[in-house]
Amino acid sequence: MKTVELNLTKHSEAMVVLIQFPYDTQLISSIKQIPEARWSNHLKSWYVPYSIEMLHQIKELLEPIALINAEPLKHRLREEKKKFLENTYLNTIQPKIELYKQWMQSKRYSVNTIGVYTEALIAFLKFHQKPFESITNQDIIHFNNEFILKNKLSSSYQNQVVNAIILFFSQIENKVMDIELIHRPKREKLLPNVLSKEEVKAILEALSNTKHRMMLALIYSCGLRRGELINLKPTDIDSKRRIIIIKQGKGKKDRIAPLSDKIIVLLRDYYQKYKPSTWLFEGQEKDSKYDERSLASVLKHALAKTQINKPVSLNWLRHSYATHLLESGTDLRFIQEILGHKSSKTTELYTHVSTKSLQNIKSPFDDLDI
């Protein structure tokens, strides 16, 4: 028997029912009995305006001569209903979300943190779509299991969601969540990724553009984060004192890092060519910051010209700087200050990837007479 599939889509800003089947003159003749039926070359299908009455009419006309598969339409209807309920719920909670953002802004949270916390909170609230007063610790556990773990999202994202929820309910809803009962993932003990000095050299030499090379060289030579480099101003370079001033880095802390003699020479050459005014590294438009995504692309293009087959990110340059400092004998306390680490434990991670001490260890395998 012939089969007709019904689906739902938007066409010319209106919801329509698609009536799809292999070419068949009998079915076409039956569909043409519906005055509203139209053929769309774009959709490659017959369609009618969506309504319950129209669905009944399709059923009466086609059921005697064909099997009707309406599952795609039902699935789309469920999705549309879910989307409608989500949008309705979001509209009701939007005033509280705005209060939450305003509270974080007044406390001088960074723009990035405000965005991350807001998105994490909305994801949690959309998942449950419950009144705030009925949300409990169990809802957080359920979200962890049924959303975060099922979608294989990271443990850091899980922590962000928990932080966002606790902050929202304590500051906006005046509701204290029992922190002891909230499930946090165990902190992953990942070692920082490190490049050799030869690999760093190969990356920098792959760049012929002075600005591009200067940006990556400065990240490596001063242990900068991506955002810290983008936010640098020409006045942050003090060549006489041979330091760079990093203002309002992570945790809104100022710090300084030493400038090497070679970097100062490169910076002078860069100044002469580009004459930066507002920002040390400006974008295509005058007085605009260099785009962070473009900076990542610079590294990607450099890697493509080398023999390095590793998923290198900009942060690898910062990690490499710290590790190379450690291997050259720099005290961990100085490295901590230069990198702007709040805790010395973070800096101590570089001791686990430094190879200088390991290379002095003689393997017992060398004593085997084989």
Residue 230 and residue 283: Cα distance in Å, rounded? 10
Handedness of CA 82, 88, 89, 90 (dihedral sign): positive
Tokens at 131, concatenated: 């009144």
Tokens at 277, concatenated: 């005014």
User: Running DSSP on this structure, what letter comes out for residue 282?
Assistant: B
Is the Cβ–Cβ distance between 11 and 47 less than 8 Å?
yes
Tokens at 268, concatenated: 């002078």
Is the Cβ–Cβ distance between 248 and 111 less than 8 Å?
no
Look at the chain and count its residues: 370
Token match 């720099």: residue? 330
In terms of phi and psi (left: phi > 0; alpha: psi -120 to 50; beta: otherwise), the region of 9 is beta
255-282 per-residue burial string, b: 16 or more CB within 10 A, e: under 16: bbbebeeebeebbeebeeeeebeebbbb
Residue 225 and residue 220: Cα distance in Å, rounded? 9
For residue 350, what pLDDT is reported? 72
For residue 217, what pLDDT is reported? 93
Annotate 287-319 with DSSP letters as a single string.
T-BPPHHHHHHHHHHHHHTSS--S---HHHHHH
For residue 89, what pLDDT is reported? 80
Nearest to 47 by CA among 58, 56, 60: 58
The domain spans of the chain are: 2-69, 77-181, 197-352
User: Running DSSP on this structure, what letter comes out for residue 148?
Assistant: I
Secondary structure (3-state) at 109: coil
Which class would CATH give 77-181? mainly alpha
pTM over 0.75? The answer is no
Is the Cβ–Cβ distance between 124 and 182 less than 8 Å?
no
Handedness of CA 310, 316, 317, 319 (dihedral sign): negative
Question: Going residue by residue through the chain (370 aa), what tens digit of pLDDT does each one get?
Answer: 788 888 888 888 888 889 888 888 888 888 889 888 889 888 888 888 888 888 888 888 888 888 889 888 888 888 877 777 777 888 888 999 999 999 999 998 888 889 999 999 999 998 888 888 888 888 888 888 888 888 888 888 888 888 898 899 889 888 777 666 666 666 656 667 888 889 999 999 999 999 999 999 999 999 898 999 999 999 999 989 998 998 876 767 888 888 989 999 999 999 999 999 899 999 888 888 999 889 999 999 999 999 888 889 898 898 888 888 888 888 878 888 888 887 777 777 777 666 665 566 565 656 666 6
Is the Cβ–Cβ distance between 252 and 110 less than 8 Å?
yes
For residue 235, what pLDDT is reported? 92
For residue 229, what pLDDT is reported? 93
Angle between helices 314-327 and 292-304 (to 10 degrees): 70
Within 10 angstroms of residue 30's Cβ, the number of other Cβ atoms is 20
Residue 287 and residue 298: Cα distance in Å, rounded? 20
Pairing state between β 38-40 and 243-246:
unpaired
Residue 79 and residue 71: Cα distance in Å, rounded? 12
What residues does 245 pair with on adjacent strands?
256
267-272 contacts at long range (C-beta below 8 A, 24 or more positions apart) = 267/214, 267/218, 267/237, 267/239, 268/239, 269/210, 270/210, 270/211, 270/214, 271/234
Is the Cβ–Cβ distance between 295 and 230 less than 8 Å?
yes
Tokens at 343, concatenated: 């805790």
CATH hierarchy code of domain 197-352: 1.10.443.10
What residues does 16 pair with on adjacent strands?
9, 49
